[in-house]
Amino acid sequence: MQRASRLKRELSLLTTEPPPGITCWENENQLDDLRAQILGSADTPYEKGIFNLEIVVPERYPFEPPKIRFLTPIYHPNIDSAGRICLDVLKLPPKGAWRPSLNISTLLTSIQLLMAEPNPDDPLMADISSEYKYNKQLFLLNAKEWTEKYASQ
C-alpha cells in the first residue's frame, strides 16, 4: 500500500514539476511499469536526442531501487547495448548508493547527468570508454551519429 501511494505521489510530482528535459508516465496504467524520456542536454553529443527508458519498479520499492534501462540505443561508456546503465544509485549498498530517500525523479536526473558527463573509469563498454579517454573527438563523432540515427524524431 505504502509503495502504491508513494509511486502515485512521485508520478504526480513528475507530471506537475518535471525536472528539465525529463518526462515520465505509467505504461498501460501499470504503476510498476513506467516509461520515461530524457532529452539530450545542450553541448553534449546527445543534444536534441530523445531517449526512451523503461522503469520497472520492484515489489520492495523504495527499499530496492527501480530497474531502469534505455530503450533507445545510445553510444556511451556506461550504458551497454541492452540499455543497462552502470550508475551507483541504481544499485543497493555495499556496491551501490541506493537509499529509500531517493526517488525516480532523482534517478532520472542522475542518468541525465551521466549522459552529459560519462564516467570512463567505471565502464560497461570498455571499447567506448577507452575511445572516450584517448580519442575524444572520435567518441563525440560516434555518439552524435548514434543520436541522429536512433534518437531523433
The rounded distance, in Å, linking the Cα atoms of 149 and 11 is 30
Q: Residues 14, 34, 53, 86: which is the catalytic one?
A: 86
61 burial via Cβ count (<10 Å: 0-12, 13-18, 19+): buried
Could you give phi then psi for residue 80, rounded to 5 degrees? -90, 180
The letter for the amino acid at 63 is F
CB contact set of 91 (below 8 Å; sequence gap of 6+):
65, 97, 98
Q: Which residue has the cell 556511451?
A: 76
5 CB neighbour count, 10 Å cutoff: 9
Task: Note if 86 is an active site residue.
Answer: yes
Set of cell numbers at residue 50: 530523445
Which residues have a catalytic role annotated? 86
